[in-house]
A and B are shown apart, each in its own frame.
Chain A
């Protein structure tokens, strides 16, 4: 029997996918005490993935998709404190302190602090005009506002990862002229294979987005509302708007200052617990063990945020909980849906399928030896769903059959 929780307080720092789902899961798991949910973002908690997708292309005022409606917070008695920044955790006294000097007691504390955009070191960046990142509702609002005010809708995106490419596709859709500057020799180089990079390269080319690689931005010169973005190969590009999409920095400062174990993120066990028995961490900010791949990882994804939230909620309520998920992700660009499952890192071989009789439907299957590690599926829900099943069950696959596109994708086709 779980002990009586009615006099206890669970404080959650971070009210995005992880923190909000944790709050509601706690009630489902039977937590009877107070739930305090904090975030420095003043916006009512919203779905984040559409920031670089549909929110950016909706021509009328942006209507954010809320994670849960307001009434649910009151009916579940979750106290939401937005626009509130926590400055310190005191583990001995079990308190968290706010910027205004006040503090609050906790019995259980959950860190869902996420990550923030990395700001690269570029000469002249601070003085440049209309420089934005892409992480919060405010970012999307400001980009749209700036775009509406510019006569020349010229945008330079620094960084060719998923955020950069989704933003490029969305801005192109609403008529901006877009250049993406990627430092590596191919786009998406940190996150996917050569094959997928080439697919997205071609896709963006067809939509007249200039994807330029081996472009290391070193300086920005700005005058009269225009920026000149200068690369180390002496090329330069005009931009009314600059968007930074060069990765994130994990928000570990609070945890580190409180003496929690940090290693590429806040280190947690399989129940999402830190090295303090009363402090848990979930979502983008955690460095956690993945049981399927048998290694510690950090993930930036909705799946990880929501699944870890459920595990932590159960654990906090004294139930047996064990995080054992196969990671999955998605990206929408133009009319293309990319669905990814598994972790391809360490692959030794890829099998690529381009479906016949189906428009722009591809899949890339990643293997290490005979083990299927991951699948990237483009407009191909079947490959994604079956890939998920095969990875989870460690099904051995006949690669020759898999590569043969005259054989349709079916559960028994490649055995």
Chain B
């Protein structure tokens, strides 16, 4: 079981728990504002952009080349940008804090 905290762009905090799937799915299921996941999680639409709190960056794993390419020129990119559909839910990321990108 992993505990995942979302902070939306209007500073609302949502703490969720999950065992499987990916972060985007979890966010959509729980109506986290700003995460749409329009492509269904295949790294095609960039509607699930989050900023990982720095101390959790390594736990989330390395983004793929395609994911990096999709994010590099995004208007709201940061050093800690990820597409949340590409982060798997597992015990490894327990406690992770994610800020939903604008």
Residues of A that sit less than 8 Å from B by CB:
47, 49-50, 65, 68-69, 71-72, 302-303, 306, 328, 330, 332, 337, 339, 379-382, 384-386, 389, 410-411
Contact = CB atoms under 8 A, between A and B. Distances in A.
**For chain B, which range describes its interface: under 10, 10 to 19, 20 to 34, or 35 or more residues?**
20 to 34
A382 B73 contact: yes
Given A382-B72, A385-B72, A65 B41 contact: yes
Contacts of A381: 66-70, 72
B31 A72 contact: yes
A411 B43 CA distance: 21
Nearest to B64: A381
Interface of B, helix, strand, loop or mixed by DSSP: loop
B74 interface: yes
25 contacts: A49-B39, A49-B40, A50-B40, A65-B40, A65-B41, A68-B28, A68-B29, A69-B29, A71-B29, A72-B29, A302-B38, A302-B39, A302-B40, A306-B36, A330-B42, A330-B44, A339-B44, A381-B67, A381-B68, A382-B69, A382-B73, A385-B72, A385-B74, A386-B73, A410-B73
Given A303-B38, A337-B44, 15 more contacts: A49-B40, A49-B42, A65-B40, A69-B29, A72-B29, A72-B31, A302-B38, A303-B45, A328-B45, A330-B45, A379-B66, A381-B68, A384-B70, A385-B46, A385-B73
Given A72-B29, A328-B45, A385 B39 contact: no
A302 B41 CA distance: 13
A301 B66 CA distance: 22
B19 to A, nearest CB: 14
Interface string B26-68: 0011010000101111111110000000000000000000111
A389 B39 CA distance: 19
Interface of B: 28-29, 31, 36, 38-46, 66-70, 72-75
A142 to B, nearest CB: 22
Contacts of B38: 302-303, 306
A303 B73 CA distance: 20
A381 B39 CA distance: 14
B65 to A, nearest CB: 8
Contacts of A69: 29
Nearest to A48: B40
Contacts of A303: 38, 45
Contacts of A385: 46, 69-70, 72-74
Given A68-B29, A72-B29, A306-B36, A332 B42 contact: yes
Nearest to A411: B73
Of all A-B residue pairs in the complex, the 8 with the closest CB atoms, nearest first, are A381-B69, A381-B70, A330-B44, A47-B40, A382-B69, A385-B73, A69-B29, A306-B38
Nearest to B46: A385
B62 to A, nearest CB: 16
A147 to B, nearest CB: 23
B23 to A, nearest CB: 15
Contacts of A410: 73
Contacts of A49: 39-40, 42
